[in-house]
Amino acid sequence: MRQNKMTQCNCPLGKAMSALGSKWKPIIVMVIKDRRLRFGQIDARIHVISRKVLTDQLREMEEDGLLTREEFKELPPRVEYYLTDKGLALLPILHLLEDWERTYDVKEALADAEA
């Protein structure tokens, strides 16, 4: 789970990294985007994550106010996850990170140099 040192940090970047400090949370944010998804749908889109880790990450993200878990009282039980305004505000930042990676991708830079 989460390291307590980062959660007690007083600087804004430290708190932000605590909320997004795992490799899975940004991916989960990008998978959910502006949709409502059930656990199985998220699990199917990120097939390399274990169900336990996904469950733990979703719980932490809910605690941090990044997403909402909505339970429906029906049979079979249904739970949907969707990003809060705080979580949605991360989308442009994560898109910038994707752009940064595309710009500075070492493999692409080497291929361009050889051409």
Position 58 pLDDT exceeds 80: yes
Q: What is the span of the domain harbouring residue 57?
A: 23-104
**Does residue 13 or residue 71 have the better pLDDT?**
71
Number of domains in the chain: 1
Q: Residue 19 — very low, low, confident or very high, per pLDDT cuts 50/70/90?
A: confident
Identify whether 62 is part of a domain: yes
CATH of the domain at 29: 1.10.10.10
pLDDT of amino acid 115: 59
Identify whether 85 is part of a domain: yes
Identify whether 2 is part of a domain: no
- pTM of this prediction exceeds 0.75: yes
Q: Each residue of 70-99: pLDDT tens digit?
A: 999 989 889 999 999 999 999 999 999 999
Identify whether 73 is part of a domain: yes
Contacts 24+ apart (CB under 8 A), 32-39: 32/67, 32/81, 32/82, 32/83, 32/87, 33/83, 33/91, 34/83, 34/88, 34/91, 35/82, 36/70, 36/80, 36/81, 36/82, 37/80, 37/81, 37/82, 38/78, 38/79, 38/80, 38/81, 39/79, 39/81
Identify whether 5 is part of a domain: no
Q: What is the mean pLDDT of the chain?
A: 87
pLDDT of amino acid 3: 54
Position 55 pLDDT exceeds 80: yes
pLDDT of amino acid 7: 57
